[in-house]
Amino acid sequence: MRRAFWLLILATLLRGSVPGPHQRFLLKELLRDYNPMERPVANDSHALTVQFSFTLIQVMDVDEKSQILTTNAWLQMWYDHYLQWNQSEYPGVKNLRFTPDQVWTPDILLYNSAHDKFDATFKTNVLVNSSGFCEYLPPGIFVSTCNVDVRWFPFDIQRCELKFGSWTFDGWLLDIQMKEADVTGYMPNGEWDLLGTAEQHTIFK
Q: For 156-168, write each residue's pLDDT tens digit.
A: 677 888 888 888 9
Domain ranges of the chain: 44-178
Average pLDDT estimate for 32-61? 88
Look up the pTM and report it.
0.76
Number of residues assigned to the chain: 205
pLDDT category, 12, cuts 50, 70, 90?
Answer: very low
Distance CA 37, CA 170 (A): 16
Distance CA 160, CA 150 (A): 13
Task: State pLDDT tens for residues 87-112.
Answer: 999 998 999 999 999 999 998 888 88
Supply the DSSP string of the chain, one letter for each residue: ----------------PPPSHHHHHHHHHHHSS--TTS---SSTTSPEEEEE--EEEEEEEEETTTTEEEEEEE--EEE-TTS---GGGSTT--EEEE-TTTS----EEETTB--TTS--B---PEEEETT-EEE---EEEEEEE-----TTTTS--------EEESS--TTTEEEEEPPPB-TTPPPPSS--------------
CATH architecture of 44-178: Distorted Sandwich (2.70)
Q: Quick count: other Cβ atoms within 10 Å of Cβ 147? A: 9
pLDDT digits (tens, 9 = 90+) for 130-160: 999 999 988 877 888 877 776 666 666 778 8
Gap between the Cα atoms of 68 and 86, Å rounded: 48
- Name the more confident of 67 and 88: 88
